[in-house]
Structures are given as structure tokens and as C-alpha cells.
Structure 1
Amino acid sequence: MTDTPAAVILDLGNVLIAWDPRLAVAAGVGAEETARFFAADDFDFFAWNHVQDSGRRWADGVAEVGRTHPHWAEHAAAYLEHFPASLSEVPGSLDVVRDLHAAGVPMVGLTNWSDELYYPYAAEEFAVLRLLDDVVVSGEVKVAKPDPRAYAIAAERAGQPFDRLVFVDDSPANVAAARALGMDAILFTDAAALRTELRSRGLPV
């Protein structure tokens, strides 16, 4: 794509809002138990979390761990109980979004996030989100990246076809899925590099 993008689609987790689930679990069970939990051969935290991001209720997700992996039940419950401890601001990203907003560039968030955890925490606590025109929350629409349907919803919210959008995400798999649909896509590493990438596409940052 050679034209300046008409809108920007932004991932939230670890692009605008830093997310480290280990911090939440550690707040409940301590650092040593947290390390054991995330290194476990019999339980994949990120795969389990993805199901909640795709729409399963958290009460059901925690209950499932209690049934299938009771030795990890306390750890799973600790993540939910202390979830806010997992979140912080990604350095520099607010400034990039503020510049795009000031220039009138449309921006839509596209996040794999449980709606139960997004709305009471992130939506109210992080000013950067109030600069976005819309946010597609996977738990609300019941489909998560890299499913093509998630990108289609974001494109519809932005009011643009795929080839007029630039997509930003820290996940190589999500970036690859966006490119397969015809979107320009940037793999996020840090805010300074993102600014350079957006500027190279003619965006005013």
C-alpha cells in the first residue's frame, strides 16, 4: 500500500496498555508459585485466558480450572481477583495516539480482552482509550484475533476497506493475519519505532 492510511487500527494489550498477568497472580499466591504456574506442563494460561477473551464468562473459566486442574485453582482465581495489578501504561504510546487524535486521524482499538475485565478496569482507568473513536472488545463481539471476523468488525467500525487501514499489534500471528486480509500492518516493539513507522506512511506523528 502506497497511499497514506485512512485510519489506524490499534491493539491495546502491550501496545497502549502493558499487560503482565504474572503480576496479578503473584499478588495472590506469591512469586514462587506464580513461576510454577506459568511454567506448568499441564496448564496453558494463555490458551485458557483466550477462551474468556472470546466470550466465556470468567466465573465459568475459573470453575473449569477447579474441575480439571484443582492444583491450579487458587492461581487462576488470584489472576481474576488481582487483575488490575497486571495493567500499566506503555511508555510513549499515549503521546503517539494524542498526536494522531489532534490531527484528526480516525483510530479504532481491536483488542482480545474479556468484556468483564475491560469495562470496569481499562476503559475507566486509561486516558489513551478515550482518544479512540471506537474499541472492538473481543469478549463483547465473541470473536478474537487472529480470526478474520475480528478484523472485519474493526474495519466496519472504521468505515474503511482493509486496504485503507494500517494495523498495529505486538503479536506476529495477529500481524500476519491482518496482512493476509490485505491490511498494512506494523509489528509493535515500542512507541518510538511505531512513530517512525506511522510517519513513513505519511501519518502526522
Structure 2
Amino acid sequence: MTTTTIIFDLGAVLIDWNPHYLYRTIFQEEAPMLHFLENVCTSDWNEEQDGGRSLQEATELLVARYPEHEEYIRAFYGRWEEMLGGAIDGTVKIFEELKSQNKFKFYALTNWSSETFPIAQERFEFLTWFDGIVVSGDEKDRKPFPSFYQTLLNRYQVKPEEAIFIDDNLRNIHAAEKIGLDSIHFQSPEQLREELEKRGIL
């Protein structure tokens, strides 16, 4: 089957986002910072905002639970832009090369809060290269739930057998494979290039 469509995840594939960038300026030492991010402002907590919970509700929930950490909790979204690194240039270059072939449709399927995504849209011009972007916070749904992948497939009439899906999270890769998407577990731009070359895409 010919590949007609390439679906990218954004965070850690095309865009470098990491809470450590902010919290290293707040905490003097690494260990307490890691403890805070593993036990207070956790990945699971952040994913609920990706799934549509408001930033205000999420913040107040944690402040009520951990009042001693109020200042650090409020910084998570109050200074969210400081977690946003640059573009992952090697992947953007691959995207550019693929786009220049004029052979594929490009979509993004991203777990991202609808309240913070506009900040990324202002900053990264390559987000305008996509034929469509499906943002979890807008849909009130997220990876790895099959319904979220299906939203993209249905909206843009994408046939899974004609698409390649690229994501850094193995959990999301397994979910995509279950619905018939050929998937690449992204580890680096160099490894992505190799995988695309193997498939005859680059």
C-alpha cells in the first residue's frame, strides 16, 4: 500500500518542551526538583489538562492538596512559556524534505492543552505546514485512547493503511498500531531518517 499521509506528534518530536527548563531556575538542586515533578506537578496531572481540564481548575486542585508548594505549583502554568525550548531542528529538516516532495498530506496529533497550544502556534512557523492539527485539549480526548486517533482519521478521511504515525511515547505507538497505523517510535532525528529511508519515504 502506498503511503499518502504522515502524522506527527509534536512535543519531543518537533518541539522541545520540558518542565525542567523552568524548574531548574526555581530549585537550587536537582533532587528536590525531581521530587516535586514526580509527586506534585506530575505527568498524570498534566495529562488531564491535555484532556481538556482547565489550567485554573488543575492549579487550584493542587494548591488545595499541597498548600506548602503553592508558589511552585502556580509557576507551572504562570511561567509555562519557560518550559518551551526551541524546535527540534533535525526533525523540522526531515519535515521540510518530505513536504518538498509534494506527495504527502501532513497532520499533527498532539496531547496539548488548548490554553497553551496557541503559544506554540505563535512561536513555530512550521506548524502552518500541516494540512490539519488535532489538539487533545480542543477535543477533550487524548492519546492513547483509540477514539482520539479515530477523530483525526475520520476528520481528514485518512486510511490507516496509507499512513505513518510518528511519536516519542511507546504507549501511544502501541495504541496506534492496534488501529492499523504503521508507527515509528521516535528517538532522534537520525533514527527517524533511517526509519523513513527503510520505508522508501526519504
TM over 0.5: yes
Instruction: Give the match for residue 112 of structure 1.
Output: 111
Deviation at 1:72, TM superposition (A): 2.8
Instruction: Give the match for residue 151 of structure 1.
Output: 149
Structure 1 segment 23-102 matched on structure 2, within 5 A? 23-27=21-25, 29-32=26-29, 33-40=32-39, 43=40, 45-87=42-84, 88-102=86-100
Secondary structure in structure 2 of the residue aligned to 1:186: strand
Secondary structure in structure 2 of the residue aligned to 1:197: helix
1:14 to 12, 15, 34: 12
- Looking at structure 2, the residues matched to 188 and 62 of structure 1 have their Cα atoms a distance apart, in angstroms, of 31
Give the TM-score normalised by structure 1.
0.90
Render the CA deviation track for 1:164-184: whole Å, top value 9, x for unaligned: 211000000000000011110
Deviation at 1:36, TM superposition (A): 3.3
- Aligned Cα root-mean-square deviation (Å): 1.5
Stretches of 4+ aligned residues off by more than 4 angstroms: none
| Paired-residue identity, % | 31
Cα 1:124/1:44, change in 2 over 3 Å:
closer
The letter for the 1-side match of 2:170 is P
Deviation at 1:39, TM superposition (A): 4.1
Deviation at 1:31, TM superposition (A): 4.1
- Looking at structure 2, the residues matched to 181 and 71 of structure 1 have their Cα atoms a distance apart, in angstroms, of 44
Deviation at 1:200, TM superposition (A): 2.0
Cα 1:31/1:123, change in 2 over 3 Å:
farther
- Looking at structure 1, the residues matched to 101 and 89 of structure 2 have their Cα atoms a distance apart, in angstroms, of 21
Deviation at 1:198, TM superposition (A): 1.6
The number of residue pairs the alignment matches comes to 198
